[in-house]
Structure 1
Amino acid sequence: MSQLNPKFIYFDLDDTLLDHKKAEQAGLQDVHEHFDMFDGIPEQQLLDTYHHINKGLWEEYGRGEIDRHELHRRRFQETFRDLGVDEQMHEEAGKVYMRYYRNHWEWIDGAYESYNKITQNFEVGIMTNGFAETQWLKIDQFKLKETARHIVISEEVGEMKPHPKVFDHATELTGVDREDILYVGDSFTSDVVGGSKANWKVAWFTKAPVDEGYKLAHLIFDDFTDLLKALNIK
């Protein structure tokens, strides 16, 4: 395993440090149980329909074709329309979902211990997509401001990863050369491609790497102990 010797390490937040997918699924399961209108509709059908629609909307949002308010409205409105339930309930469902979603936030397995060891040896920061108020709630709940020297939330920058503007801004904050920054993230497009185009080193957290990732990432891992080894941390 090659050794990494960065001067600064940025971490992605969702599905790198915190288990967004697990929290999202649990929140949607709670929504399914909360509303009587889902009687007769399988839980998995709600999850699959929501994920399909939400993924497309985030892609539109990332291209600047819709704003955050339209994304919020349409993800449940169009899900309910496809499921044949009252789409007028979308606003209430969105509020209920966010309440449940927050109840299920937790660290990715192994991330808490490894992150804390890394912060004792390196300067670190957080760089994340997502809506600012939600990401700040996570950052506050998990006390990440105590350890992260810089926190970059794409919405506050005005673009989403992998846009170069986000990486340029994050680079300037560190005061170190691009080649001395390591980015730890789970998304191939947002993190691996974005980080490599910014001339950062990239550690890709994934259980299903694609071939192109081997060319772009300096480390591919699915166990945080491997990241510690690459950073020469015991």
Structure 2
Amino acid sequence: MGRYAAVLFDLDGTLCRHEQAIEPVFHGAFEDLGVEPVGEPADLWTAMRAITEFEGETEQLADGIARVAADHDCELDARAWSEAFVDRLDWTDVSFLPGAERALAAARANGSVGLLTNGPEPRQSTKLAALGLDGAFDPVVYAGDLDRRKPHREPFDRAVATLGVSPERVLYVGNSLEHDVDGALDAGLRVAWLDADGDGPGDRRPTHTLRSVDELAAVLGA
């Protein structure tokens, strides 16, 4: 028996990427409201990273764009803008990251394979279907539909309980130091962190560091 009885994957930025160009979505949301666009997507991401408490992703988007609008002295219905933004997103426009399919095959050969993602089920299940991954994971935990998302330990605990193995026998594979590494380690799991940019983990200590997700096969001995 190998070191790990199960592998849990993150989805976005670990197994797949969203291919849709975001600039037309960002500016189009303003157009839908009849408001002159202000700022750029990068400004929104910066504003959203500063938000630590929110009810859901639509609310986080609304809070983020409200900050961008305030910086530009723009009056904006932030909630309506966030809904227009989400309505313009095409969640079927996704593709596998290089090496993802090999990583999945190695994980299946190793043992149980699950998915733990911070997104809500309607969006993430659409991506899974587009990738041909319907039914590929057990369990699937959509933390976006829970009271607490990663990095809180609740979604990790839920996944481990479904797997029926001890946390230290579960390897979580993800690309976020904050959400994946911190959350999984806090819940007692082991972590393979995908450092695609080669930035290094800083003060954090993931169990394994991968430059590409297909390096997971070597970690699992596949």
Contact 1:167–1:195 (8 Å) recurs in 2: yes
Give the TM-score of the pair, scaled to structure 2: 0.81
Corresponding residue of 1:18: 16
Deviations 1:195-225 (A, max 9, x none): 1222211101113222333xx3221011123
Corresponding residue of 2:183: 194
Corresponding residue of 1:52: 46
Corresponding residue SS for 2:191: strand
Contact 1:192–1:202 (8 Å) recurs in 2: yes
Contact 2:173–2:194 (8 Å) recurs in 1: yes
Aligned-pair RMSD on alpha carbons?
A: 2.8
More helix by share: 1
Structure 1 segments of 4+ aligned residues over 6 angstroms from their partners: none
Q: Which runs of 5+ in 1 are unaligned?
A: none
Equivalent position amino acid for 1:8 in 2: A
Aligned residues: 215
Q: Which runs of 5+ in 2 are unaligned?
A: none
Corresponding residue SS for 2:96: coil
Q: How does 1:170-181 map to 2 (within 5 A)?
A: 170-181=159-170
Q: Percent identity?
A: 22
Q: 1:70 to 1:217 in 2, by over 3 A?
A: closer
Measured in 2, the distance between the counterparts of 1:149 and 1:201 equals 18
Give the one of 152, 158, 166 matched to 1:163: 152
Corresponding residue SS for 1:226: helix
Measured in 2, the distance between the counterparts of 1:16 and 1:212 equals 21
User: How many angstroms does 1:133 deviate by?
Assistant: 2.6
Contact 1:114–1:224 (8 Å) recurs in 2: yes
Give the one of 208, 212, 216 matched to 1:223: 212
User: How many angstroms does 1:125 deviate by?
Assistant: 0.4
Equivalent position amino acid for 1:212 in 2: D
User: How many angstroms does 1:150 deviate by?
Assistant: 0.5
Contact 2:17–2:97 (8 Å) recurs in 1: yes
Corresponding residue of 1:119: 108
User: How many angstroms does 1:174 deviate by?
Assistant: 0.3
Measured in 1, the distance between the counterparts of 2:86 and 2:59 equals 17
Measured in 1, the distance between the counterparts of 2:77 and 2:188 equals 47
